Every structure is written in C-alpha cells, then in structure tokens.
Amino acid sequence: MIEPENQSGVHRYDHPAMNTVFSLRMAEVDYETGLRAAGACFRRLEQLEGTLSRYRDDSDVSRINALRAGEQLLIDEDTHHCLRLAMECGPATGGLFDVTLGARIEHRKGRREGDPPALRGRLEVAPDRGLVTCVEPGREIDLGGIGKGFALDRMAEVLDDHGIATALLSCAGSTMLAKGKHAWPVCLRGEKVDTLSLQREALSASGTGFQGAHVLRPDAGAVAYAFNRVWVIADCAARADAFSTAVLLMDPSELAEFVSAIPQAKRCFAERSEADGLISWP
C-alpha cells in the first residue's frame, strides 16, 4: 500500500520495531504533545515485541513453544488477548488462519530441504485467564500474521489515554488503523491509483510481491494463489491483519462467502496482476 503523504497540520513520528517501521500521524495536536504521546506508544510497542516475538528467548511465545507435554505456563494479559483473537480468526476464515504453524514457517523461511514438519500437537488457551497448557508438543506459535495489527490496536489505546482523538497508525504501509473523525486517503497500489478513504477502521494487505509464496496452508496442501495481492478492511487492525493473511489463500468464491458471513470484514479487494484492475467484495 502507498501511505498518504504528509498533510498540512499533521505530524508524523516513526519507530523501528518487529523488523519493520511503525508510523504515527496525528492531526489536531501540536508537535510536542504528539511527540509525548508517540513516545508512550513506542514504549508500549517495545513491550509488546518483548512479549509476542518468537525470536526472543524470554518472550511468552518462546516459552510457550518450549513447553513439554502436560506443562502449563502463565502468560501476560497481552499475549492472552492476542492468542484469543487469533483463535477467533481461525474459524472465521475456515481454518486458514492458524498461528500454530511456527515450525513449518521456519522450515519455509530457512529454505530447508525435505518435507515440512508434520502438523501435530495441541495447545490449550484458557478462555478466562492467561494460562496455556501443552496437551501434546509439536505446535509452535508464530504471531507474524496478527501481531503487528494487534500492536496498532494497543497503541491506539495509548493515544486515547493521552487525549489524541485523530490519528493514523501504520506498520510499514501493510497495515493501517484510522482513529477519529478524520478520513485518511490511502492508495492501494501505485501513486494515486485506487484511492480510498479510511475512517474509524483498519486496512491490511498481503501479497506475494515481496516475500513470495510465504503464507502457508494449515493442511500443508500446495499453495496456488488466486491473487497476487489482497486487502481487507476490518473493524480493528488485528483482525484486518489476520484476515488479509487468510484471504490470500482463498479463491474468489471462498472470498465472497467469507465477506458475506463475517461482519468484522467490511470489505475486501484483490488483484490478479498489476495489469488488471481491482476486484472488490461486496
């Protein structure tokens, strides 16, 4: 996606985290007030990365992935909230969104030879408290398909605490969250091409252009993408992030059924190639 250009009266603040760059644009606020709010947001972001990253040995996710059969782990409220959201997004996408494919993802990223690891094991997440039980080892958590959107939602809460009513939060242009009454113009592809206004909603994109066929199917079946790139508008950034990951694995009929059945997915767009126009649902 192409982020909106800096507008008059809008202040921008950037911060590297989660192997990318997060940006905050704030309107109707002076620079110094915005800077203090941005600092609080980025401290919250760093806290979330330390909890949710599977690449930090002391994170909740790493400790979950190290559990043996029968072991339990008390986890942070943020980790619990993110896992519960991920578990909701699984059935909503017909099982295509699955955060327990960590071992397969590592196999793919490392370009390792042979078949990917068999999908086995079971983790249980308590519905009412931060407790994870390893029923059978084998599942490994990877929150890459939802964690950045989840972080944007939590940062928006920090802006609320600082009285910032109007802002656009984004993660490397791939996921955006519009907060407040201001309508933010966003170009889906190319300069001033397929522009839409984002207001009190989130937008996330997934595609094959940068990372290739990086989204894996839980059933380990062959991935034959129907689209090069997809975009999903949803009620919050975490769901937009998760839904766009899953939608990339859908064919047109599955996508149409998904949008009609899931109210949190407000609208979807897709392109088969850069030469084709956008297809939209509904």
Per-residue model confidence (pLDDT) at position 120: 85
Tokens of 263: 């109210």
Q: What does the pLDDT look like over 17-64, one tens digit per residue?
A: 999 999 999 999 999 999 999 999 999 999 999 999 999 999 999 999
What average pLDDT does the segment 209-231 reach?
72
Per-residue model confidence (pLDDT) at position 222: 56
Q: Give the 3-state secondary structure of residue 203.
A: strand
Q: Which of 97, 93, 100 is CA-nearest to residue 138?
A: 100
pTM above the 0.85 mark? Answer: yes
Q: Where are the beta strands (DSSP E) in the chain?
A: 10-17, 20-27, 72-74, 122-125, 131-136, 167-171, 175-179, 184-187, 195-198, 202-207, 229-234, 265-271, 279-281
Main-chain phi, psi angles of 32, to 5 degrees: -65, -40
d(CA 169, CA 175): 8
Percent of all residues in the chain with a pLDDT value above 90, rounded to a whole number: 74
Query: Which CATH architecture is the domain 57-136 placed in?
Result: Orthogonal Bundle (1.10)
Q: Where are the domains of the chain?
A: 57-136
Helices and strands of the chain, counted as H and E runs: 7, 13
Q: What does the pLDDT look like over 109-157, one tens digit per residue?
A: 656 666 667 778 999 999 999 999 999 999 999 999 999 999 999 999 9
Per-residue model confidence (pLDDT) at position 102: 73
Q: Residue 35 is which amino acid?
A: L
Confidence of residue 165 (pLDDT cuts 50, 70, 90): very high
The β-bridge partners of 176 are 170, 203
Q: Find how far residue 230's CA is from the centre of its chain.
A: 13
